[in-house]
Amino acid sequence: MQSGDAELVEVMRRCASALQSVTCSVSDEARALAALRDAAEAALAERLEEIDRTKAFVAEDASSTTTWARRELRQDARRTRQLIRAGVTMRELPAVGEAARAGRVSSEHVARFSFALAHVDEAEVRRVEAHLVAVAELHPPSRVKSLVDRLRSVVHPEELDEAWIAGADKAHLSLNPLPDGWHVTGFLPIEVGAKLQAVLDAVAVPREAGDRRTASQRRIDGLDLVLTRVLAEGLPTDGTVRPQVHVVVDAGTLQRALAPDTASAFEPVEPAVLQGFGRVGPNLLAHLTCGADLVPVLVDRIEANRTVLDVGRRHRDATPKQRHAVWFQQAGRCATEHCRNTVDHVHHRRRWSDGGPTDLANLVGLCSACHRHEHRHDVALARAG
């Protein structure tokens, strides 16, 4: 009998008492069984560590502890090595060993302490051992891992930069077409992954109450939205997408700006409208558009500009000017009745396949959900016909 067996016996007694009691709840039984499991694994870890340290496996004609455990305990080598390492940790960190033998922490908790001994300064781990054990007794192993990782970054800050450099060296991204889609594999450097995470977090939020899409589906839809808009607006040439500000001006104001000598000094100038906010003054407009592309869109007498807004049957996709015109005509909102989502797609009222032109009068702005619904409706009608 080893020194820690008294704790194991006590845990076994409490577990048996809980299972035999008619007043004990099923929750109490689960807690007792979990404590028994953890205490038994701690005792097994100590035995396996002693077998390995003293080479007791030789007396039973085994070449190693892992071989002996595979034969006698029906346990694979990986699990045996984990338990041996746990036994060493319990011997080197007395508070961890005491908590494990009493069933207050699991073998997974002990594994986090083993990692700390291997990758953090041992003296520092022993200094904070009591605090980490207290955390382990109340929280899952992931909480201990986060504290160990934090301690490691404090003790070895140079490893953070080493990890960044290593990550940059193995960065790659591959897209492989499959019959039902694309398979994406890759590894992103720290800063690139952080940017992608920030973008996906922004575009993958639920769009409205009752959005039943999974988080993964929302990320895919958000990525589709970003890619569609990038392609529609043009790919960046300098590695960044510069800010875009939509400003609405009437034709008279535009004429005054282009030829001030022909306008009356007393003619009022309509303030510019920053979409999503409202009217803004000239100084704020200059500040907002600093370093950005300013895209003026005529909203007065739009019929007079059909030569630049209509492309007939020459192109299937709407031109950038047409997209801006549709967006402003609908104030950025989906044209479907009662839908308040933003415009994501410019749709042909009369289908292109049926001879519909890419003219402003035949274009309507829809959100992604309504756009999918329109196409599914078209498919259903085609099948019915």
Q: Residue 384's pLDDT band (boundaries 50, 70, 90)?
A: low
Q: 244-256: per-residue pLDDT in tens?
A: 455 665 555 444 4
Highest mean pLDDT among 11-20, 266-275, 376-385 belongs to: 11-20
Q: What is the mean pLDDT of residues 157-170?
A: 79
Least confidently predicted of 45-49, 113-117, 221-225, 233-237: 233-237
Percent of the chain clearing pLDDT 70 (strictly above): 73
Highest mean pLDDT among 4-8, 165-169, 361-365 belongs to: 361-365
Q: 80-97: per-residue pLDDT in tens?
A: 999 999 999 999 999 999
The 3-state secondary structure of the chain reads CCCCHHHHHHHHHHHHHHHHCCCCCHHHHHHHHHHHHHHHHHHHHHHHHHHHHHCHHHHHCCCCHHHHHHHHCCCCHHHHHHHHHHHHHHHHCHHHHHHHHCCCCCHHHHHHHHHHHHHCCHHHHHHCHHHHHHHHCCCCHHHHHHHHHHHHHHHCCHHHHHHHHHHHHCCEEEEEEECCEEEEEEECCHHHHHHHHHHHHHHCCCCCCCCCCCHHHHHHHHHHHHHHHHHHHCCCCCCCCCCEEEEEECHHHHHHHHCHHHCCCCCCCCCEEECCCEEECHHHHHHHCCCCEEEEEECCCHHHHHHHHCCCCCCCCCCHHHHHHHHHHCCCECCCCCCCCECCEEEECCCHHHCCCCCHHHEEEECHHHHHHHHHHHHHHHHHC
Q: What is the mean pLDDT of residues 310-326?
A: 71
Residue 51 is predicted with a pLDDT of: 95
